[in-house]
């Protein structure tokens, strides 16, 4: 029970150093945030595999001007924060601390290598505070190869304990200067009611942001100093959900308004209901990328199919999204982010996903199961293209027959049905329907 000073005074130096080392080993890390938190412009509530394999890479790429060759997108000065379009996302785990520990371990290993090689220091001779956190994403290519991308993030935290949540609320949020987007990926269970832990945590974050918001040149409402501002076109924080739930944005807004009604405070400068209506927009989205996990990674490393053309479709009817995300071009990066600005377009995307991608997937899965073909690599032989089934042998012939069946099903049923129900698909062109199938067929 001795204090550090008493240890230092009464024990040999060896024991003091041993005590200090043990204290460092056993003291849990409650947050991994950069010293300069003002450069963080987006928050990701949840550390789900889809969010980390689709949304975060898109946010990184939206503000990047170059790629350093190692999968780390940045703006050329090594920290990714040199222009007005970046997001610099920090990932906040809803439960537990596995992702935070994973990032800490990766950074420790990276710094060991950097110290040994003396290659990743700034001009001042110190390790850059940014891009020291990262995680891996595996993508299984069409030919079976697995490519691993290194995705940077600008910090990690957790709502899993009282101490770690306090770090988010008291050490991160008060130091934000510009906030553009909040990503939410908390699974369908997290969206089951407004009283789930994920929803109450999101509400607490938004309520704290309401208290900290700035006016004019960043002055807080209560005059206590500088606060965050939102430089999006309409000045609204964009909340983008990546869970596979219909009308997820509408549901999120309903939940937040319900919680606001249950937590009324008449002394607030701006009520929470007003804040949610005037300062936040909740986008409906569609998500579509099969994402599992690397074997043995405990869910920390996503393992995904090649990114579909429409992996994440965001509805933005009022033009609230940051321009860098709306105007973002894939340019071969395969980001799969599409923004819909007209009513009905997202509904058409969802209908095509269900009828074309999911419909043909179900059809071929049933046939393959009945034939005793339990793995999808039965479809992967490149010779199995087209309908010339009888000119192949063995596996080639099986693959050709399966794809002939699937192509015929699409041409004579899915496509014909789409042509006959253009109003139901909001006048989607036949070429768009064909493009959905072609992209899905390529992935199959």
pLDDT in tens, 23-71: 444 456 899 999 999 999 999 999 999 999 999 999 998 876 433 333 3
Q: Point out the least confidently predicted range of 218-227, 236-245, 400-409.
A: 218-227
Are 434 and 425 a contacting pair, CB within 8 Å? no
pLDDT in tens, 422-431: 677 777 888 8
pLDDT in tens, 71-94: 343 333 333 344 457 899 999 999
Q: Which residue has the higher pLDDT, 294 or 11?
A: 294
Scanning 153-196, the segments in alpha helix (DSSP H) are: 162-166, 187-190
What is the C-alpha separation between 217 and 203, in angstroms, rounded?
26
pLDDT of 54 reads 95
Backbone angles phi, psi at 278, to 5 degrees: -100, -20
What is the C-alpha separation between 180 and 234, in angstroms, rounded?
11
pLDDT of 402 reads 92
- What mean pLDDT do residues 305-321 have? 94
Q: Point out the least confidently predicted range of 18-32, 128-142, 296-310.
A: 18-32
Q: Which residues pair with 73 in a beta bridge?
A: 67
Question: With pLDDT > 70 as the criterion, what percentage of the chain qualifies?
Answer: 75
The pTM for the full model equals 0.81
What is the C-alpha separation between 195 and 96, in angstroms, rounded?
19
What is the C-alpha separation between 189 and 76, in angstroms, rounded?
40
Read off the pLDDT band of 233 (50, 70, 90).
very high
Q: Point out the least confidently predicted range of 28-32, 127-131, 227-231, 291-295.
A: 127-131
pLDDT of 386 reads 45
Are 337 and 328 a contacting pair, CB within 8 Å? yes
Could you give the 3-state DSSP secondary structure of residue 407?
helix
Reply yes or no on whether the pLDDT at 252 is more than 50.
yes
Reply yes or no on whether the pLDDT at 119 is more than 80.
no
pLDDT of 444 reads 81
Greatest Cα pair distance in the chain = 88
Q: Which helix (H) or strand (E) holds 14?
A: helix 13-26
pLDDT in tens, 177-228: 999 999 999 999 999 999 999 999 999 999 999 999 875 445 554 445 568 9
Sheet holding 237-241, edge to edge: 156-158, 89-93, 42-45, 181-184, 237-241, 280-283
DSSP state, residue 289? -
What is the C-alpha separation between 400 and 392, in angstroms, rounded?
8
Q: Which helix (H) or strand (E) holds 375?
A: none
Q: β-strand 156-158 against 285-287: which pairing, if any?
A: unpaired
């Amino acid at each position: 029970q001795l204090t550090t000073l008493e240890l230092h005074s009464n024990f040999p130096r060896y024991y003091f150093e041993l005590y200090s080392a043990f204290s460092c080993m056993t003291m849990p890390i409650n947050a991994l945030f950069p010293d300069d938190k003002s450069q963080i412009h987006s928050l990701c509530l949840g550390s789900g595999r889809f969010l980390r394999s689709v949304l975060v890479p898109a946010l990184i790429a939206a503000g990047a001007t170059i790629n350093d060759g190692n999968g780390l997108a940045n703006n050329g000065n090594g920290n990714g924060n040199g222009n007005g379009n970046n997001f610099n996302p920090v990932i906040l785990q809803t439960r537990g601390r596995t992702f935070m520990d994973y990032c800490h371990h990766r950074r420790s290993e990276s710094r060991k290598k950097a110290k040994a090689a003396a290659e990743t220091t700034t001009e001042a001779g110190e390790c850059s505070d940014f891009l020291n956190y990262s995680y891996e994403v595996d993508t299984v290519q069409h030919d079976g190869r697995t490519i691993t991308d290194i995705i940077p993030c600008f910090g990690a935290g957790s709502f899993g304990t009282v101490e770690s949540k306090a770090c988010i609320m008291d050490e991160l949020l008060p130091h934000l200067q510009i906030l553009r987007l909040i990503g939410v990926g908390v699974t369908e269970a997290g969206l089951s009611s407004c009283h789930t832990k994920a929803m109450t945590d999101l509400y607490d974050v938004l309520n704290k942001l309401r208290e900290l918001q700035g006016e004019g040149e960043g002055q807080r409402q209560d005059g206590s100093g500088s606060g965050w501002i939102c430089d999006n076109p309409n000045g609204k924080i964009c909340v983008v959900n990546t869970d596979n739930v219909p009308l997820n944005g509408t549901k999120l807004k309903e939940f937040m308004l319900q919680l606001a009604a249950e937590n009324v405070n008449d002394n607030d400068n701006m009520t929470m209901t007003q804040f949610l209506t005037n300062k936040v927009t909740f986008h409906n989205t569609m998500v579509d990328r099969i994402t599992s996990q690397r074997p043995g990674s405990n869910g920390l490393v996503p393992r995904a199919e090649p990114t579909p053309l429409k992996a994440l479709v965001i509805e933005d009817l009022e033009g609230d999204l940051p321009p860098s995300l709306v105007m973002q071009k894939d340019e071969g990066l395969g980001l799969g982010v599409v923004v819909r600005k007209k009513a009905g377009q997202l509904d058409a995307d969802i209908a095509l996903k269900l009828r074309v991608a999911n419909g043909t997937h179900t059809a071929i899965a049933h046939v393959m199961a009945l034939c005793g073909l339990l793995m999808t690599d039965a479809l992967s032989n490149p010779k199995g293209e087209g309908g010339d089934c009888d000119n192949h042998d063995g596996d080639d012939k099986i693959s050709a027959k399966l794809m002939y069946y699937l192509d015929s099903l699409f041409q004579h049923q899915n496509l014909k049905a789409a042509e006959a129900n253009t109003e139901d698909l909001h006048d989607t062109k036949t070429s768009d329907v064909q493009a959905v199938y072609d992209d899905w067929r390529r992935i199959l």
